[in-house]
Amino acid sequence: MNTTLYQPRRARVAAQIGPRGLAIVPTAPEQRRNRDADFPYRFDSYFHYLCGFAEPGAWLLITGTGKSILFCQPKDLEREIWDGYRLGPQAAPAELGVDEAYAMSELDTRLPALLDGCDSAWYPFATHSGLDLRIQSALQQLRDRVRYGAQCPGAQQDLCSVLDEMRLVKDAQEQDTMRRAGQISAGAHIRAMQTSARMLRDGQEVREYHLEAELLHEFRRHGAQSPAYTSIVAAGANACVLHYRADTALVRPGELVLIDAGCELDGYASDITRTFPANGTFTGPQRALYELVLASQQAAVDATRAGARFTDPHEASVRVLAQGMLDLGLLDKDKVGTVQDVIEKRAYFQFYMHRTGHWLGRDVHDCGAYTEPSELGQSSVRKDALTGQSIVDRPARILRPGMVLTIEPGIYVRPAPGVPEQFHHIGIRIEDDAIVTAQGCELISRGVPVEADAIEALMRD
């Protein structure tokens, strides 16, 4: 393994927790699906970010003086016959570049000793069930020995505050992996679009799961380990259900299909949404709404650059969508007023009820503060126009090169009084993945086109 990726990250953690800190990071547990079957194993994102070790049953400890200590599953030939190869503590230092490694069974005796004399125990808060109890137990053992000179740490600190900031800005290697994940996912979207058009042309029955199967096939054949999240393949009106999954509904000519799907490659997510006509040709009303969402996405892309705020792309999208809702008659000018009124009263929320993006990285909704750390403490309170609830506004994060976020405006039209019937049941979202650069952003998911004409063209091929 290329350990040079991980050692500098561990060194940065050590520098931030101070010479008398101890950082404690478990990987994820295996999860039972039912009886003898487990869910596919996925390591913990923080743990893997720090050592690249993908086996379950492991903890990484980093001392404030920069020493890395791994606890992992011991070699066990009988278990390895059933479950597969284990690296084991003896081989771990050479393979992973950690300083020491021990069997997991030694953790509960070694942890109190490692905490002895530390001023702070650092671990990710509220991420691993039972972790705090396990650490309390180690502290308790240490406290029982203060009469003999043991020194118990006086503080416990949230390691997420350190790791989230580190993970928020992606290094060159991470960006490269995310570009490759974006390319694979883009290819999967093209495959699903073309399959839909071809099967319908051939008179075959198409269901949502047929298109999901194409996505999975394309992810795996390019080496992606899994989908980064449960794929959404929503035919027709199902697109208006934001958390819909790929199910059994028929994909009908004349309807749109919304696919929100991305692969996970080497621990990094991609997250792409495309909305396309099932048979390859947009109807007039579909195209009108599609062009509106696309224009709103372009406005958000234009607003994404280093120095801008995280909320700038959302505000840019909302402005375009709000104007379009008035122009297309989704909102009645006589009732809601000007575009500024639509924004202030949040009237657009009837058709656009989510944010325009989120951080993307090891987790599809990646870690990282959405408020600006250099402006902590600045806040104002206002009443929300729709709910009347008090909202605390804090300055939004200032974007920096290497941050990765999605840009994903949409429009979802459920029938309601006054809403033109031609738009009923249309749901459209367009989502791309962007790396922030000094001048703007790099869209790493555009291997699948977004322009309506380009989508129609590739579905004809």
Which residue ranges make up the site for Mn ion (CB under 5 A)?
260, 271, 406, 431
229 binds, among Mn ion, ligand GLY, none (CB under 5 to 8 A by kind): ligand GLY
Residue identified by tokens 């009908």 is 252
The residues pairing with 63 across neighbouring beta strands, listed in sequence order, are: 22
Residue 260 bears catalytic tag: yes
List the catalytic residue out of 36, 202, 205, 334.
Answer: 36
**Which CB sits closer to ligand GLY, 220 or 358?**
358
Which listed residue (116, 218, 408, 456) is catalytic?
408
CA distances to 21, 125, 127, 321 from 160, rounded to whole Å, are 14, 7, 9, 36
Distance CA 121, CA 112 (A): 11
Q: Which of 44, 208, 260, 433 binds ligand GLY (CB under 6 A)?
A: 260
In angstroms, the CA 76 to CA 105 distance is 13
Query: What are the DSSP E strand ranges found in 2-128?
Result: 21-26, 32-34, 37-38, 59-63, 68-72, 100-103, 120-123
**Is the Cβ of residue 153 or residue 227 nearer to Mn ion in the bound state?**
227
Q: Is 354 a catalytic residue?
A: yes
Spell out the residues 6+ positions from residue 304 whose beta carbon is closer than 8 angstroms to its own: 312, 313, 399, 405, 407, 434, 436, 440, 441
Q: Choosing among ligand GLY, Mn ion, none, which partner's interface includes residue 255 (Cβ < 5 to 8 Å by kind)?
A: none
Q: Are 70 and 38 in contact (CB under 8 A)?
A: no
- Quickly list DSSP for 249-308: -B--TTSEEEEEE-EEETTEE--EEEEEETTS---HHHHHHHHHHHHHHHHHHHT-STTS
- Minimum distance from CB of 212 to ligand GLY (Å)? 14
128 is catalytic: no
Q: Which is nearer to ligand GLY, 279 or 297 (CB)?
A: 297
Judge whether 424 counts as a catalytic residue.
no
Beta carbon of residue 266, minimum distance to ligand GLY (angstroms, whole number): 19
Of residues 32, 79, 201, 365, which has the active-site annotation?
365
Q: Which is nearer to ligand GLY, 9 or 314 (CB)?
A: 314
Backbone angles phi, psi at 372, to 5 degrees: -85, 115
Residue 28 in contact with residue 125, Cβ under 8 Å?
no
Closest approach of Cβ 234 to Mn ion, in Å? Answer: 12
The reply to whether 214 sits near ligand GLY by the rule CB under 6 A is no
Q: Closest distance between Mn ion and the C-beta of residue 406, in Å?
A: 4
How many chain residues touch ligand GLY (CB under 6 A)? 7
**Closest distance between ligand GLY and the C-beta of residue 357, in Å?**
8
Does residue 432 interact with ligand GLY by CB under 6 A?
no
Smaller CB distance to ligand GLY: residue 174 or 363?
363
Provide CB contacts within 8 A for 35, sequence distance 6+: none
Is 167 catalytic? The answer is no
H and E: helices and strands count for the chain: 14, 21
Please give the residue ranges that form the binding site for ligand GLY (CB under 6 A): 229, 260, 271, 358, 364, 408, 431
Q: Which residues are catalytic?
A: 36, 243, 260, 271, 354, 358, 365, 408, 412, 429, 431
